[in-house]
Structure 1
Amino acid sequence: MRASVRAISAALATVAFACFVPAAAQADPPSDRDCRSFPFAVPQGQLAATLCLPPGQPTDTVMVLMSGSNYNGQYWDFPYEPETYNFRQAMNEAGYATLVVDRLGNGASSKPPALSLTANTTAEALHQIVRSARRGIAGAQPFGKVITVGHSLTSGTSVMEAAAHRDVDGVLLTGYSHAPSYGEILGVISSYYPAVNDPRFAGRGYDPNYLTTRPGSRMHDFFDPADADPAVVDLDEKTKEVFSLSEYPDGMLSMLPGMSSFIDAPVMIATGSKDRLSCGIGYAVCASSETLHAAEAPYFAPEARLRTFVLPGSGHSVNLARNTVDYQAAVVDWANSITGR
């Protein structure tokens, strides 16, 4: 079975990768949260990463939170009304360390030529981050348990990493299913335009193959109006990010039958009931947590102990829905079932 996974990984690979070596930690000044930001070296440059430890309590578990397309790490560490919308803070308060990582091209990470980026590149970088977390990263003690957390595109790369390497203790997939709405996905992607034409990115050195959402389109693409605070959507627009079309072809393969069945760690899938990209025709797959489980269970091995959660009313970006605290609580409950907290 392991040989089969390696074959899948080899088929997806488009470039050969040298060994990844984490860069030396550069600690931030002390603050009211124990967080340290540092670069993580990869063949194409550096990934920006921030490790936060839970306040006043030791932990053996870290969640690696990687931003999906059109987002950077602020999706996980949202500054507006953090008691509601800040997923990173909620996990720290629940006793878990978090490692927020920006994909290449996003946030403070390096910006190589856009068409050099693939989902497999991101999956291999994630694998090296997992390995480093187990050895001790940014001056922290080695973590005994590592849970990967993805959203949309990076849910796909989390599947790729876990299936190929079998080195994680849990996999949280959000904005993801094996019944994507391909028509909606193509419609959304086709509306994107070069980031150099957007006021947020003009003059900042992006090559023209980096794309971003058109102003005002994110409410339709990633939210449901009935479950979105206009102030959240406004800040989401101001902090939007870029992606490359070359990240999608191999990333989409993670949603086909087969790959996810190689994951041998507990898996949780969380979606919004109004996720136009992940819920199939008429949102049928996401009618309830039970319907999502029935649809997804055939794609996972028994070892995955699949758990599903549907956040009522939420669009694609479950972290930013008005009722996101319910999703946060479901994630903590699932993580506790893995770690025995």
Structure 2
Amino acid sequence: MIGVGFLTSPMQAGASESCRDLNFPVTLTAVPQTMYGRLCVPTGGANTVQVLIPGGTYNSSYWDIAYSPETRSYRRAMNKAGYATVALDRLGTGRSSTPLSVLLTTITEADVVHQVIQQLRSGARGPQFSKVILAGHSFGSGMAIIEAATFHDVDAVLITGLAHRINLGGTIPVFAATLPAILDPKFAGSGHDPAYLTTLPNTRYDIFHKPGPKVDAAVAFDESTKDTSVHTQAIDLFSLGIILPYSRLIDKPVMIALGQDTVFCGPLATDCSSAAGIKRTESLYYSAAADLHTFALQGYGHAINYAPNATEYHNAVREWADRKVGT
């Protein structure tokens, strides 16, 4: 596995970037694993790479949505802005290896991402980058918080689909819409043990996209690319990544982007009505070193890359990244 390192056949993704598949050798609590990442580099190269972590029951496709990619592909937007990207499949999802679920926690997965970042900085897998922006969505944002706060090896952190104040009523439908992955024909014979979960068929619009408009083709892509997660990951996600202010240990610039998220937004939760509202409710959880910047995407729910107006959020990230890190 280590000898292979990465797949060497480059593949053109568009006029302004080239992409290839990378397989990162990592260890998960001393057990060898492989984490898959899709590397895309702008023509002419880049000094900065954005490492992109998807959320629960998502994989790397969340960052490169094939439906209306000119609007919904975060990867494409960042490549056009001059940033390289590595969209990861979390362990147990996509083309990454599938470990025993008991080994997967937010902390152990954050450690695995740390290993990937070290390989990107050193050039151990081929490409080498001097600066790293770590970006997460939902559960992936919890991993990003813990990674950045623990290892201090990134230059900035983007948090999407996650906040410290939770709308408890909004979490119930999400957990209720899951079943063991082995009971879903999509994952039959995939090697997932019974603790791996996925979403029930035709539930993703209600739990991830509302109150946004229902665009059938976009939702169909989301359903077709759904993946797995493990509920035990929520234990340290909620305790360390959300409830405790562990995020105050992050000492690099942080940006938070939220839609009208039913899990995190509400009168007794996070004020997602505006960027100022998000900053007011989230600033307690970050130090002055984080220089917190916020963005509120109007008219959509949890999975903001799917929003018809996602370019507004992508542009806001680009402007922030240019100011704080640069390409």
TM-score, normalization by structure 1: 0.89
Name which of 178, 182, 195 aligns with 1:196.
182
**1:228-247 alignment to 2 at 5 Å?**
228-247=214-233
| Count of equivalent residues | 318
Give the superposition deviation at 1:78: 1.1
Rounded Cα–Cα distance in structure 2 between residues aligned with 1:68 and 1:78: 14
Structure 1 unaligned spans of 5+? 1-20
Q: Which residue is equivalent to 2:9? A: 28
**Do 2:52 and 2:85's aligned partners in 1 also have CA atoms closer than 8 Å?**
yes
After TM superposition, the runs of 4+ consecutive aligned structure 1 residues lying more than 4 A away are 281-284
**Which runs of structure 2 are paired with 1:1-341 in the superposition (5 Å)?**
24-32=5-13, 33-43=17-27, 44=31, 45-54=33-42, 56-140=43-127, 142-252=128-238, 253-272=240-259, 274-281=260-267, 285-340=271-326
Secondary structure of 1:203 counterpart: coil
**Alpha-carbon distance change, 285 to 35 in structure 1, aligned in 2, over 3 angstroms:** same
- Say if 2:264 and 2:270, in contact at 8 Å, map to a contact too: no
Q: SS at the partner of 1:296?
A: helix
Kept in 1, the 8 Å contact 2:177–2:199? The answer is yes
1:224 is aligned with what amino acid? K
SS at match of 1:70: coil
Separation in structure 1 between the aligned mates of residue 87 and residue 115 of structure 2, nearest angstrom: 14
Q: Using the alignment, how far apart are the partners of 2:218 and 2:3 within structure 1?
A: 34
Task: Report the Cα distance in structure 2 between the residues aligned to 1:137 and 1:74, rounded to whole angstroms.
Answer: 25
Query: What is the CA distance between 1:137 and its match in structure 2?
Result: 4.8
| Identity %, equivalent residues | 41
Normalising by structure 2, what TM-score?
0.92
Change beyond 3 A, Cα 1:132–1:23? farther
In 1, the alpha carbon distance for the partners of 2:322 and 2:64 equals 21
1:184-209 superposed Cα distances (whole Å, 9 cap, x missing partner): 22441133111111122123332221
Unmatched segments (≥5 aa) in structure 2: none
Root mean square deviation of aligned Cα:
1.8
User: Contact 1:261–1:299 at 8 Å: present in 2 too?
Assistant: yes
